[in-house]
Structure 1
């Protein structure tokens, strides 16, 4: 009994027994749609656009999934001296159709024309995520006006005529045929079938076939989807979990996996990737995708958004996660095929390193979306041998700071000093009855308290007395002296900088470039305007102060010219610190650390030590903005 398509699906019917399913090669959404189609209807034959010479090798390689491989066919001698190949990719709709048909014991027919030099055609298609809401017939019909017709005398027209005649042959032996083909070929194969195009003369040649496994590090050049997303489709198949929305949910899972990868290597950087930051990230990715007229993001959009919202470290972790495929050595059933012990093929952009052959051009038999390459500069973590060389060349007598970081933290300490002065003025505020002036504004609380009297009260904030020239930051309380081993006092290079005393992690443990070390403040003291002071870590007047926090605070109390010293710390100062302030005739103005953004503080805490002022000329090439 032949197919009885509905009116909306009639556009996909090639003949009374043949239904076409136009797909975009390399799309996971299309692969799911093909699988659903094969399982939902009683087809007794599956036709795919591959030559018969590929059949045995492709089905053997499909049987080895989820391990990724390629089936190669060498081009005819004297031409391009390259290869055409079929990627055995779980997210390739044709491979998904063959895999499902093999599982359902449905006969398969490979009906493409044998050609010694295949010409692949990529295209620019709408995002196949639209198939979640749009039927295949509507999706294909909408694209139809934009599909360019093939050259009547070219190889593509010969292929279309050949496949149309092979479908006519299958019609004589089967009652219900599903033909999975590229969306670019579908209307012209249907046209050749309807008008009865004659069979072209085949180009007979001896096919030289070969199957190779693929180096896992180069899978990103072979697979249609990202390797990590492809692995999620495989996981859904193996564990029978939903996989119909992985083109979006898979991206979210990949982001969380990248954060876990980063947490293992750089936990403090991963700590900054909060749910709020991820929310900003996803909005940014959505906007980038809409700008490019896509419904789902590509890898470039994901990396750019990661770099600009969370820094290079997160972008690198995301890139490494995206190209990870955990099923590289997994087999669903049976033993490893004989070709698995051969050296792997290394893929590239249109070329590949074929074992025992060398570098050669590669043309896919299942070409998908056209790919455009764009550059994105990311600074990776330097290799260990380079770091050892930089450490050996370090001059301990020539160190300076990185000016952009100086400007950033100086601006912040002035902001903190302004807030501390505002607190001083608030302590002197009082309320009085309104007479002729509202003074510094209406005091709502006092007015409500005396509502029964009908009087209006206003605020009176007198000018604050004195100023603040010493600001102490304590980021980690209590500070472990075994962690914060680097203690120094730096003097200002110009009048707009503060005198700085600090304790920090050892910069020699994290060299990021030649003559460039990275450390993290545990605490810092800023004296502005700058002045010459003895090194507080060597000053005998502070020798009785045992902890790092007390030593830093004591230095601020000792060298402050004003009565008040601003203190930024996680907790209020204990009684011992207040007694220390009274001993020096000073008073502490405390600002809680949580008053400021955690991401801002993490960014300010990280600083770089340069091995001489000449390093500033190239430091920006190695310092990653956090």
Structure 2
């Protein structure tokens, strides 16, 4: 019954990275509350102040455009709680302000979505926002909570989009700008595995912790960063630009898939169905048989034959009528006999440097044709001066360089009639596949391209490409 006395009690400074594991609420909620304790709603900062930055370079001279990482990061860390307090703060009692946790979730989504769209050039749809909040609410109910915490937000973000959105959500929610890694006291990092609190673990690619002092691994991929962005610019010393081989394999396979789909569409157009008499032809047509079940007949089908094989493939995500959103135009040849030649236009890759000599861009459109090493630089070819825009130029090039009769055209709307006539003069045919008929997730995957400043960057590209 003697009183227990603790000895060797030491006071230490807690590493900011440990806050999500130890605080019962998201660190951002604590930071916003600190601002609201003064009795006033904090002013709303500009939207660009809360967005995560991109490392950019100029093509001429590779001069650093966006730098001063520590200064910008500190400014953003101060702006995030201000916006959270502005959006989630409300008067609980006369003269007493507090945090509305539902509004806080909305603030986290708003800030994370803005950073995500800035980094990836992908626009989040309204249904993704709705599913994010629906999942968070139901997840909290299953866990016996009123509102979700960091873990619920991150898992919901990964479910409605990908690891990049999950990272942005986590990066926003863990913000507490006044906790410093350097202090007069020794800094300690408390790992969630060191806490014996009934830990549940889910193994994913990066380790994050759930609030309420119950560490959990959250499915978020770590995004490499550099202390000095100028270090990444040293990777642009080598001449020439090359692609990332793993992305090449994905886009080549998808081009083959589109070729097969185009042939299948034409075959379906020429399909013929008739009542069974003496031959099964190409098999029983179950759909037509069930539709005419009252006749007591079996219908068989004869599959049509496409008028040829598919050759060049052109995929148009955005026609870019102004010519400003996707200014970067390029033509490159396949490195071996298993790769196609490609021409494309995209966002400026030098506006987003993700590693040493590694840039990231988003396709506006691309054209692929096989066999390789045949294509002249289509952007300098005077034969295509009559093209109305860049998307039409790629379509004309796809027709000219196709060695097969069928040219696959993937876009939101069918090609212009003059393009069909241009193909007919060469005894070829444009086969249109609506962009909406294809998987959005696959299109999102193939739309991202990374350009490497030299073949030597391929050895380290896996660490930086996301």
TM over 0.5: yes
1:300 CA displacement: 5.3
1:484 CA displacement: 2.6
Distance in 2, matches of 1:432 and 1:553, equals 38
From 256, 259, 271, the counterpart of 2:124 = 271
Aligned length: 382
Contact 2:310–2:408 (CA under 8 A) maintained in structure 1? yes
Match of 1:26 in 2: none
1:591 CA displacement: 0.2
Distance in 2, matches of 1:422 and 1:373, equals 47
Contact 2:327–2:348 (CA under 8 A) maintained in structure 1? yes
Match of 1:340 in 2: none
Match of 1:475 in 2: 317
User: Structure 2: any 5+ residue segments left out of the alignment?
Assistant: 7-13, 37-87, 190-196, 198-211
From 211, 216, 222, the counterpart of 1:378 = 222
Distance in 2, matches of 1:492 and 1:451, equals 54
1:42-191 pair list within 5 angstroms: 152-155=2-5
Taking a change above 3 Å as real, the CA distance of residues 608 and 479 of structure 1, as seen in their structure-2 partners, is farther
Taking a change above 3 Å as real, the CA distance of residues 434 and 474 of structure 1, as seen in their structure-2 partners, is same
Asked if 1:414 is matched to 2:267, the reply is: no
Distance in 2, matches of 1:361 and 1:604, equals 43
Distance in 1, matches of 2:317 and 2:461, equals 26
**Secondary structure in structure 2 of the residue aligned to 1:489:** strand
1:581 CA displacement: 1.6
**RMSD value over aligned CA atoms?**
4.6
1:219 CA displacement: 6.9
1:509-548 pair list within 5 angstroms: 509-548=351-390
Distance in 2, matches of 1:312 and 1:547, equals 35
Q: What TM-score comes out, normalization by structure 1 length?
A: 0.51
Asked if 1:549 is matched to 2:391, the reply is: yes
Asked if 1:317 is matched to 2:168, the reply is: yes
From 262, 283, 293, the counterpart of 2:115 = 262
Taking a change above 3 Å as real, the CA distance of residues 279 and 510 of structure 1, as seen in their structure-2 partners, is closer
Taking a change above 3 Å as real, the CA distance of residues 509 and 223 of structure 1, as seen in their structure-2 partners, is same
Match of 1:51 in 2: none
Match of 1:576 in 2: 418
User: Structure 1: any 5+ residue segments left out of the alignment?
Assistant: 1-150, 157-213, 329-343, 363-367
Match of 2:269 in 1: 427
Distance in 2, matches of 1:560 and 1:264, equals 36
Match of 1:353 in 2: 183
1:489 CA displacement: 1.9
Match of 1:123 in 2: none
Asked if 1:227 is matched to 2:77, the reply is: no
Taking a change above 3 Å as real, the CA distance of residues 620 and 372 of structure 1, as seen in their structure-2 partners, is same
1:270 CA displacement: 4.8
1:439-458 pair list within 5 angstroms: 439-443=281-285, 455-458=297-300
1:615 CA displacement: 0.2
Q: Select the structure of larger CA radius of gyration.
A: 1
